Structure 1
Amino acid sequence: MCGRFVVANVGSELVGVLRVDLEGDDLPEPSYNVAPTDRVAIVLDSGKTEPPTRRLEPARWGLVPAWAKDPSIGARAFNARAEDLEDKPMFRRALDKRRAVVPATGYYEWKTVDGEKIPHFIHPAGGEPLFFAGLYEWWKDASKADDDPARWLLSFTILTRDSIGHLGSIHDRMPLFIDHDFADAWLDPTADNVRDILDAAIDAAPSVAETLDDHVVSKAVGNVRNDSPELIEPIDAR
């Protein structure tokens, strides 16, 4: 699973290789301890234009489908198992047309050692951005006026798959990583071979996973109120 991650940069600093056409307003500030229901910037291809417009938009972590009565459902939909998407009404429609890339600096995972949970920071060895495969939805708050910009909530979930290699020794699940060369195919809302695209993403994720480093970090990351660069600094695990 992926329950906490880091976004140390914003805007074009983070997604230059994805060739974003339009950056949204009010992009969230960097965070070293992103938790479910927090806002971060995601990349999506809007199908309302031809060709689609690639946008960097602020979104809340935890998918809220259009049919939800209220946004609270998103608090438990921050991850989605890639293997099960087509069987889940929560995610099926988003998989067809609303796929996203979630840029990050890295993420945290907890390894259980002798009954103790030890946090690790997992990140690209060279400091380049890490991209998670995601799904997004727009939810309309019917209690707000039509001209109220806050009537629309953009939310997302991060896909996961079985872990491989050294990441498997930390946790049995890992985010579904997207190589930047595959981002165009993943984001394309006009694609009709969605099953093939998903299978290709699942199959390609290990090639990214094998390039990642990890190190033990402070247990302070377990408190969502803590948010500073010190959280990703390595510590002696002994």
Structure 2
Amino acid sequence: MCGRFVVANVGSELVGVLRVDLEGDDLPLPSFNIAPTDPASIVLDSAKTEPPTRRLERARWGLVPGWAKDPSVGTRAFNARSEELEDKPMFRGALQKRRAVVPASGYYEWQRAGGGKVPHYIHPIDDAPLFFAGLYEWWKDPAKAADDPSRWMLSFTILTRDAHGPLASVHDRMPVFMDPDHADAWLDPTAENARDILDAAVDAAEEVSDGLEARVVSSAVGNVRNNGPELIAPISS
């Protein structure tokens, strides 16, 4: 699973790689300890225009489907198993029409060791941006007025798969890494073969994972109040 991740920079660095047309004006600041329910930036293709407009938007981590009574359901939907999406009502509709890419610098995973867990920071060896396959949803707050812009909340989940290669020694699951070459097809809301696109992305993710490294970091990352570049600094295991 992926329960914490890092975005060390935002905005323009990501636009060139994914060819974003429009950036939101309230994008989150860099963070070294993003946890579920925190805001993060996601890339999506809006079907409201023809052709679709690629946007970099602020979103809440933890998918809240449109039929949810309140946002609390998102606290347990920050990850989605890629192999089970069609079987889960929470994710089935988003897989077909509302797919996203979540930019990151890296993510944390905890490895069981002895009687405890050791946190690792996993990131590209060359420090290039890392992209996770995701799904997004819009949720309307019925308690707010129809003309209140804050009535609509954008949320997302990160897809996971069985871990591959050396990363499997840290944890048995890992995010579905999105190769930029597959991003256009994945983001296209008009594409009807979502499962085929996802399966191709999962296969390509193995090559991406080969370019990652994991290093032991401070247990301070376990406290969501801690946030700073010292959290990703290597320590002796």
TM-score by length of 2: 0.99
Q: Which residue number in structure 2 is paired with residue 236 of structure 1?
A: 236
Contact 1:131–1:178, Cα closer than 8 Å, also in 2: yes
1:81 is the counterpart of 2:104: no
**Could you say what secondary structure the match of 2:127 adopts?**
coil
1:146 is the counterpart of 2:146: yes
1:59 is the counterpart of 2:44: no
- 1:71-109 deviation per Cα after TM superposition (whole angstroms, max 9, x unaligned): 000000000000000000000000000000000000000
CA–CA separation in structure 1 for the residues paired with 2:16 and 2:103: 11
Q: Which residue number in structure 1 is paired with residue 191 of structure 2?
A: 191
Size of the alignment, in residue pairs? 237
Q: Which residue number in structure 2 is paired with residue 182 of structure 1?
A: 182
**1:15 deviation in Å?**
3.8
Structure 1 spans left out of the alignment, 5+ residues: none
CA–CA separation in structure 1 for the residues paired with 2:191 and 2:52: 12
Contact 1:79–1:158, Cα closer than 8 Å, also in 2: yes
- Listed as ranges, the matches of 1:154-173 within 5 Å are 154-173=154-173
Contact 1:15–1:129, Cα closer than 8 Å, also in 2: no
Q: Which residue number in structure 1 is paired with residue 95 of structure 2?
A: 95
Q: CA RMSD in A?
A: 0.7
CA–CA separation in structure 2 for the residues paired with 1:104 and 1:216: 19
CA–CA separation in structure 2 for the residues paired with 1:115 and 1:187: 42
1:135 is the counterpart of 2:135: yes
Could you tell me which amino acid in structure 2 is paired with residue 200 of structure 1?
A
1:213 is the counterpart of 2:213: yes
**Could you say what secondary structure the match of 1:178 adopts?**
coil
Structure 2 spans left out of the alignment, 5+ residues: none
Return closer, same or farther for 1:15/1:129 CA change in 2, 3 Å cut-off: farther
**Could you say what secondary structure the match of 2:92 adopts?**
helix
Could you tell me which amino acid in structure 2 is paired with residue 24 of structure 1?
G
**1:63 deviation in Å?**
0.1
**Could you say what secondary structure the match of 1:183 adopts?**
helix
**1:203 deviation in Å?**
1.5
**Could you say what secondary structure the match of 1:13 adopts?**
helix
Q: Which residue number in structure 2 is paired with residue 18 of structure 1?
A: 18
Could you tell me which amino acid in structure 1 is paired with residue 169 of structure 2?
S
- Listed as ranges, the matches of 1:33-44 within 5 Å are 33-44=33-44
**Could you say what secondary structure the match of 2:214 adopts?**
strand
Q: Which residue number in structure 2 is paired with residue 112 of structure 1?
A: 112
**Could you say what secondary structure the match of 2:109 adopts?**
strand
**Could you say what secondary structure the match of 1:131 adopts?**
strand
**Could you say what secondary structure the match of 1:49 adopts?**
coil
CA–CA separation in structure 2 for the residues paired with 1:50 and 1:215: 44
- 1:38-74 deviation per Cα after TM superposition (whole angstroms, max 9, x unaligned): 0010000001111100000000000000000000000
CA–CA separation in structure 1 for the residues paired with 2:86 and 2:123: 29
**1:126 deviation in Å?**
0.6
- 1:148-193 deviation per Cα after TM superposition (whole angstroms, max 9, x unaligned): 1110000000000000111000000000000111100110001011
**Could you say what secondary structure the match of 2:144 adopts?**
coil
**1:200 deviation in Å?**
0.9
Q: Which residue number in structure 1 is paired with residue 3 of structure 2?
A: 3
Contact 1:2–1:107, Cα closer than 8 Å, also in 2: yes
Could you tell me which amino acid in structure 2 is paired with residue 142 of structure 1?
P
TM-score by length of 1: 0.98
Q: After TM superposition, what 4+ stretches of structure 1 lie above 3 angstroms from structure 2?
A: none
